[in-house]
């Protein structure tokens, strides 16, 4: 029995599907790095990755309007109407320069509403140098956080989560415990992706393919190994218990105990959460095609919202992955009689309406300020269409970043339509690096050295020049549970070196806690914990004792929270 060999085999084979709330899932891994999470982070922010399997056609998702006639000429058989028709392109933003003007597919009205509210960033032409056109290899590159010539055996989320694990704790003896009962990452579906893998270890995710209730019930009915002469309670025979084989077998059987613990925990949280009152779409209303009518994302996002809620005691899971397939649209991407309808239209409708419903669900649960969602696909499609009303494998495509913490807007310009493929404007690792730094509050050194093995924040771009700093995350993120609690939190001067002043306005009398935290969420300086009456308030604080760097000012009442970045300079 060899533990390393077992780990490698388990990561590939142990994702047997179970059900929770109708969504399939499985448990492939509960090794030490997953469970050593006591005190993992006081930062309660959550990242959701929505994977679009198959390579999304970005040009019919985000249509270049600055040169619409050229767009039409390159893909006349699937081109979406702009100036005429009831179902025409939705202009995204009339305030941008003419060269940047773009529009959304007519079935993406729900995302247009989020954009208009200022809570969606659209990033043009995201790829990596020398994009690989293979679905599996291309997907692995995005998941591993590498380039075209890299072959990492770990994923960038796995490395990020590993970097957050405190030292000094052992598994399985110490975990789960009262401080960290939840898996660090959850993937919806029947497999565990490379993105969650760690080198020489089991992935850091729990793969959910159904409801927590169904999953737990399945775990409860496992028969064990009684047919092999092993005690059904999971104990190896006495004559081997003291051997190396027995020790390894005990370790493996310990994973079964972890499975039971996490299954019971998820079932408990799921059952405690109130049902959603948001209107999740069930079907695409404009086609009778059984394969594209049902919305596969609604149940996934409902499940995530319930787990995060948990009746006020939701999971502390940091990363979720949802998925939707069907984007390999070589043929019949649209229907011949109407390019606004067909397989691709239904998929974009599913994404747009499910994400909008999810944002409303989070808002009603008071969770909207904690969650950020980003879309991902292994590549885009070529600029020209083919003769089968479809598109072939290409390179770059847009990414969408959604959440109340997002600095909304359109980033990048329309592609050069005279080429076969879209030139890269942003490296996908650049986008993820900024999400880690500005949303998950990971320090830059960890991102450069441990996660992406290079500087994708402002370092040299292989395409020439330097990566630009992307404004993805708002400087100030507010809760929506009680909008009247506070008008605004202002900090000036910022950056500061000796003193800074905090100004805020309370709409009613309430007890307020204000502190300075580091980017991991750990408190470094408690400031005030006092009762404040309605009205304007001002507090001046001495920050001279703080080392130079980036900090977060946390303003917290009973039902309202604001986090604002504070920079300390010498």
Query: pLDDT value at position 96?
Result: 92
Q: pLDDT by residue (tens digit) across 379-424?
A: 999 999 999 999 999 999 999 999 999 999 999 999 999 999 999 9
Same domain, 383 and 522: no
For residue 206, what pLDDT band results from cuts at 50, 70 and 90? confident
Which tops the pLDDT comparison, 50 or 37?
50
Q: Which residues of 10-35 are buried (b: 16+ CB within 10 A; e: fewer)?
A: bbeebbebbbbbebbbbbbbbbbbbb
Among 441, 457, 488, the domain boundary falls at 441
In a domain, 416, yes or no: yes
The label of the residue with tokens 């990363």 reads 319
Residues facing 374 on adjacent strands: 49, 401
Q: Give the distance between the most distant pair of CA atoms in the chain.
A: 81
8 Å CB contact between 25 and 208: yes
- pLDDT tens digits along 280-327: 999 999 865 555 688 999 999 999 999 999 998 999 899 999 999 999
The C-alpha angle 339, 342, 346, rounded to 5 degrees, equals: 120
Neighbours of 98 (CB within 10 A): 9
Query: Are the beta carbons of 108 and 119 closer than 8 angstroms?
Result: no
| Sequential DSSP letters for 462-479 | TTSSBPPPP--B-SEEE-
CATH number at residue 485: 2.60.40.1930
Cα distance between residue 559 and residue 367, in whole Å? 11
Q: Is the pLDDT of residue 203 over 90?
A: no
Full DSSP string of 385-427: --TTS---B-S-EEEEEESTTB--EEES----TTSSSPPPSEE
DSSP H helices, 243-338, are 244-272, 290-293, 298-309
Share of the chain above pLDDT 90, in %: 52
Is residue 33 one of the residues assigned to a domain? yes
Question: Who's near 449: CB < 8 A, 6+ residues apart?
Answer: none
Is there a single domain that holds both residue 97 and residue 189?
Answer: yes
pTM of the model: 0.79
- What is the distance between the alpha carbons of residues 555 and 488, in angstroms, rounded to a whole number? 11
Cis amide bond preceding 176, omega within 30? yes
Q: Are 99 and 413 in contact (CB under 8 A)?
A: yes
Q: In the block, which residue shows the tokens 């309202």?
A: 560
Q: Which of 65-69, 92-96, 306-310, 491-495 has the lowest mean pLDDT?
A: 491-495
pLDDT at position 126 over 60: yes
What pLDDT is recorded for position 534? 77
Question: Given a cut of 70, is residue 352 above it in pLDDT?
Answer: yes
- Whether residue 157 sits in one domain with residue 262: yes
Whether 485 is in a domain gets the answer: yes
Listing from the earlier edge strand, what are the strands of the sheet with 486-492? 486-492, 499-506, 535-542
Residue with more model confidence, 34 or 548: 548
State in Å, rounded, how far the first CA of the chain is from the last one: 57
Please give the residue that has the higher pLDDT: either 420 or 41: 420
Flag whether 229 is in a domain: no
Do 362 and 260 lie in one domain? The reply is: yes
Provide the domain count of the chain. 2
Report the pLDDT averaged over residues 452-480: 84
The parent domain of residue 414 ranges over 1-224+255-441
Both 159 and 289 in a single domain?
A: yes
- Does 212 share its domain with 271? yes
């Amino acid at each position: 029995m060899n533990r390393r060999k077992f780990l490698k085999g388990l990561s590939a084979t142990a994702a047997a599907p179970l059900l929770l709330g109708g969504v399939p899932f499985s448990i492939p891994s509960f090794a030490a790095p997953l469970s050593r999470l006591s005190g993992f982070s006081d930062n309660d922010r959550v990242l959701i990755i929505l994977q679009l399997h198959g390579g999304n056609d970005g040009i019919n998702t985000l249509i270049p309007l600055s040169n619409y006639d050229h767009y039409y000429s390159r893909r006349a058989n699937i081109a979406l109407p702009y100036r005429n028709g009831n179902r025409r392109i939705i202009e995204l933003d009339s305030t941008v320069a003419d060269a940047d003007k773009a529009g959304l597919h007519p079935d993406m009205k729900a995302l247009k509403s989020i954009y208009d509210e200022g809570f969606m960033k659209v990033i043009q032409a995201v790829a990596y140098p020398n994009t690989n056109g293979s679905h599996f290899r291309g997907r692995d590159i995005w998941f591993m956080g590498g380039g075209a010539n890299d072959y990492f055996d770990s994923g960038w989320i796995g490395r990020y989560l590993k970097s957050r694990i405190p030292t000094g704790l052992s598994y399985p003896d110490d975990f789960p415990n009262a401080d960290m009962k939840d898996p660090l990452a959850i993937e919806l579906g029947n497999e565990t992706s490379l993105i969650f893998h760690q080198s020489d270890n089991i992935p850091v995710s729990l793969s959910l393919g159904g409801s927590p209730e169904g999953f737990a019930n399945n775990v409860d009915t496992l028969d064990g190994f009684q047919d092999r002469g092993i005690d059904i309670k999971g104990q190896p025979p006495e004559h081997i218990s003291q051997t190396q084989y027995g020790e390894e077998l005990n370790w493996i059987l310990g994973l079964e105990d972890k499975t039971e613990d996490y299954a019971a925990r998820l079932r408990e949280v799921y059952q405690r959460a109130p049902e959603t009152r948001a209107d999740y779409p069930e079907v695409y209303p404009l086609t009778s095609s059984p394969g594209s009518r049902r919305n596969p994302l609604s149940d996934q996002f409902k499940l995530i919202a319930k787990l995060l809620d948990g009746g006020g005691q939701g999971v502390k899971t940091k990363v979720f992955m949802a998925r939707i397939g069907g984007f390999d649209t070589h043929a019949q991407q649209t229907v011949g009689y109407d390019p606004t309808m067909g397989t691709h239209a239904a998929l974009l409708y599913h994404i747009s309406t499910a994400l909008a419903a999810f944002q409303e669900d989070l808002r009603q649960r008071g969770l909207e300020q904690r969650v950020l969602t980003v879309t991902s696909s292994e590549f885009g499609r070529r600029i020209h269409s083919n003769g089968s009303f479809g598109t072939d494998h290409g390179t770059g495509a847009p990414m969408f970043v959604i959440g109340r913490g997002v600095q909304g807007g359109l980033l990048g310009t329309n592609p050069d339509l005279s080429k076969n493929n879209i030139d890269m404007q942003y490296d996908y690792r650049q986008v993820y690096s900024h999400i880690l730094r500005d949303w998950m509050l990971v320090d830059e050194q960890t991102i450069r050295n441990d996660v992406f093995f290079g500087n994708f924040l402002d370092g040299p771009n292989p395409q020439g020049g330097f990566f630009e700093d992307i404004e993805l995350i708002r400087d100030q993120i507010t809760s929506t549970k009680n909008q009247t609690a506070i008008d605004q939190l202002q900090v000036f001067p910022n950056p500061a070196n000796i003193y800074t002043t905090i100004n805020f306005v309370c709409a009613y009398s309430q007890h307020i806690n204000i502190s300075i935290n580091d980017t991991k969420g750990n408190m470094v300086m408690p400031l005030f914990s006092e009762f404040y009456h309605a009205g304007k308030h001002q507090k001046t604080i001495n920050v001279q004792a703080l080392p130079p760097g980036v900090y977060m000012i946390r303003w917290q009442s009973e039902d309202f929270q604001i986090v604002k970045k504070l920079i300390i300079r010498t």
